[in-house]
Amino acid sequence: MSKIVLQTPISDADIESLSVGDIIYLDGHLVTARDDVHHRLLKQERALPVDLAGKAIFHAGPIMKKIQEKPGRYEVVSIGPTTSMRMEAYEKEFIRRTGLKLIVGKGGMGPQTTEGCRIYKAIHAVFPGGCAVLAATCVEDVESVEWLDLGMPEAMWILRVKEFGPLIVSIDTKGNNLFEKNRRAFEAQKDVVLEEICRHVDYFG
């Protein structure tokens, strides 16, 4: 099986053929955007300093280091995904307003994002959680940073990446949601397991 590598700017056609469970990689621009960036755009109605159309965002708060010899420039020390679900209430509208095509994060997202991905043609994919040094080694350059006043984790870091991955597609453009499917399976199994354990835990005399 050949490696699927998406390249920014990503077109609708690039992602419409992808399905949940597919493993992909990214070349091009990846911009970090987590809680505060969503809050600024959608709650405070402030214009984003970066055009995200056709690009990818990363739910991540990295550790960055200033490059001594190059004032104003940074390098990535460690950058892994943060819990995407925190952005659930905002993401559909965020996709609509920005025209972004790929959301990278950790864990699943909910029905609103799934709908947003279907209507506006975008996907959500997960990078293995916690694998932050691995991710950092896929970053070729930190091109710039915006909204640094939000602090290092919350700022928008504009990264150029090469074969960034593995990324597992968790929401596709067809309304499928991998984590939701898994969650239902875990829930169903939970009842069976609980019943068994609870037969053994009456410690009251």
Partner 1 sequence: MDRTQARNTFIDLIARFTDYSSKHLPDDVRTKLKELGDREDSQMAKIIYTAMFDDIKMADALNRPVCQDTGVIQYFVRVGTKFPLIDEIEDGLREAVKKATEIAPLRPNAVEVFDEKNTGNNVGTRIPWIDWEIMPNRDDVEIYCYMAGGGCSLPGTAKVLMPLEGYEGVVKFVFDQITSYGINACPPLLVGIGIAGSVEVAAKLSKKALLRPLGSHNSNPRGAELEARIEQGLNDLHIGPGGLSGRSSVMGVHIEQAARHPATIAVGLSTGCWAHRRALIRIDASMGYEVISHRGAKI
Residues that bind ligand SF4 (CB under 6 A): 80, 129-130
Binding residue count for partner 1, defined by CB under 8 A: 52
Q: Provide the minimum distance between the beta carbon of 33 and partner 1 in the complex, in angstroms, as a whole number.
A: 15
Nearest-angstrom CA–CA distance, 65 and 80: 15
Question: 């390098």: which residue's tokens?
Answer: 75
Q: Provide the minimum distance between the beta carbon of 63 and partner 1 in the complex, in angstroms, as a whole number.
A: 5
Q: Which pair of tokens denotes residue 108?
A: 């699943």
Give the active site residue among 29, 38, 59, 124: 38
Q: Which residues pair with 5 in a beta bridge?
A: 25
Q: 102-105 and 139-146 as β-strands: parallel, antiparallel, unpaired?
A: unpaired
Query: Is residue 17 within 8 Å of residue 123, measured between CB atoms?
Result: no
Nearer CB in complex with partner 1: 47/188: 188
Interface ranges with partner 1 (CB under 8 A): 21, 23, 60-63, 65, 77-80, 82-85, 106-108, 126, 128-134, 136-137, 151-153, 166, 168, 178-179, 182-183, 185-187, 189-190, 193-194, 196-198, 200-204
